[in-house]
Amino acid sequence: MDFQWYPGHMTKAKRMMQESMKLIDIMIELVDARIPLSSRNPDIDQLAAGKYRLILLNKYDMADDQVTAEWEKYFKAKGFFVAKTNSKSGKGVKATQNIILEACREKLERDRRRGIKNRPIRAMIAGIPNVGKSTFINSLAGRACTKTGNKPGVTKGKQWIKLNKNIELLDTPGILWPKFEDQTVGLRLALIGSIRDEILNQDEMAIELIEYLKHHYSGILEKRYQVDESEDRVKILNAIAENRNCRMKGNELDYEKAAKILLEEFRNGKLGRISLEVPGEEA
Ligand code: GDP
C-alpha cells in the first residue's frame, strides 16, 4: 500500500526483470480482476516476447463474475492462457500448475522428442504492486516448498521454488508499474486502494464511484444508503452523508467523511462484487 515509485526504482525493477527473462519459459502475470487493463503495464508484452504467457485474474472474489468471464474470453482471444485466482483463500491457485504445463506443452513435447528428461519448466510471477504476487506465491508454494540453491548456469542469487518435478518458480516476483500518466488508470487504481489515498481527492473519487455505480450497478447505492439514484452524483453523496449522519461541528453535513465511508465500504466488498472495467471500452 505504501509503494512509491521513483524513476530509479522503475529502472532497477525493469532491469531485474530483463535479466530474469533469459532464465524463464513462462511469464505469469497477475492482474486485478476488477481492473484487468488498468492493473497491467503494456511493457510486459515486449519484455516477455517469445515466452509462454499466463494471465491470472487475481482477487476475482471481489470482482463481478459475469465481467470476469468476459475478461477471460478477451485475453484468450489475444492468445493468452487465462485463469482466475483468489490467492487469499487459495481458490484456483493449485489449478494453475496444470495450466502452466498446458501452456508449455509444446516445449515439454520438444524436450521429450529430443530425449531431454527432468528439465523443469521455469516460471516467473510479475505484476504491479499490491496485486497479490506475494500472497499468490505463498499460496502456491506453501510451507513445504523446497528452495533450490544456485545451480550451474543460474545467475548467482536467483532462488527457485520447486513446485513439483515439472515446475520451478522464481521466488522474487517481477514488479511492474502501472500507467500512472493515464488519469483514468490512476483513478481506478486509487478506487481499489492500490495507490495512496493522499494522491487523489476523496470527494472526487467518491463522486466518480457514485457515477460509475449509478450506470453499471443500479440499485446498489439505493439499497445500502437509501438514496435516490435518479439524483445527480453530488446530491447522492449528500444523501449518503445524511443517511450515515456524517456531520461537522454546527451540524453541517460532512461530505469528506461520507466519501471515506463509501470508498471504504466499496473496498471491503460491502457494496458487493463490483468490476470497474469491462472489455471493449478501452480506447
Ligand atoms: P504484492 O505487492 O503484489 O506482493 O501484493 P500482496 O501479496 O502483498 O497482496 C496485497 C493485498 O492484497 C494483501 O492485503 C493481500 O491479502 C490481498 N490479496 C492478495 N490476493 C488476494 C485475493 O485473491 N483476494 C483478496 N480479496 N485479497 C487478496
Whether the CB of 131 sits within 6 Å of ligand 1: yes
Task: Say what the pLDDT of residue 142 is.
Answer: 80
Distance (Å, whole) CA 150 – CA 148: 7
Distance (angstroms) between ligand 1 centre and the Cα of 189 equals 14
Higher pLDDT, residue 43 or 267: 267
Task: Say what the pLDDT of residue 155 is.
Answer: 47
Taking Cα atoms as reference points, which of 125, 114, 138, 109 lies closest to residue 173?
A: 125
Whether the CB of 132 sits within 6 Å of ligand 1: yes
pLDDT digits (tens, 9 = 90+) for 237-263: 999 999 999 999 999 999 999 999 999
Q: Which atom of ligand 1 is nearest to the CA of 175?
A: 3
Q: Is pLDDT above 90 for 143?
A: no
pLDDT digits (tens, 9 = 90+) for 110-139: 999 999 988 999 999 999 999 999 999 999
Query: In this structure, are residues 28 and 125 in contact, taking their beta carbons and an 8 Å threshold?
Result: yes
* CA–CA distances in Å: residue 183 to residues 14, 47, 199, 272, 279: 23, 24, 12, 25, 18
Task: Say what the pLDDT of residue 280 is.
Answer: 87
What band does 154 get if pLDDT is binned at 50, 70 and 90? very low
| 87 in a labelled binding site | yes
Taking Cα atoms as reference points, which of 92, 95, 91, 75 lies closest to residue 29?
A: 75
| 61 in a labelled binding site | yes
Show Cβ contacts of residue 133 under 8 Å, excluding neighbours closer than 6 positions: 30, 125, 126, 127, 173, 175
Give the H or E element holding residue 168.
Answer: strand 167-170
ipTM, interface predicted TM-score of the complex: 0.99
What band does 33 get if pLDDT is binned at 50, 70 and 90? very high
Residue ranges and CATH numbers for the domains of the chain are 7-175 (3.40.50.300), 201-267 (1.10.1580.10)
CB atoms within 10 A of CB 175: 21
Whole-angstrom distance between the N-terminal and C-terminal Cα of the chain?
A: 28
| Range 194-201 average pLDDT | 77
pLDDT digits (tens, 9 = 90+) for 218-230: 999 999 999 999 9
* DSSP result, 7-63: HHHHHHHHHHHHHHHTT-SEEEEEEETTSTTTT--THHHHHTTTSEEEEEEETGGGS
> What's at 114, amino acid-wise?
R
Whether the CB of 59 sits within 6 Å of ligand 1: yes
Q: Is pLDDT above 50 for 1?
A: no
CB atoms within 10 A of CB 198: 8
Distance (Å, whole) CA 99 – CA 75: 15
For the record, the C-alpha cell of 161 comes out as: 521454488
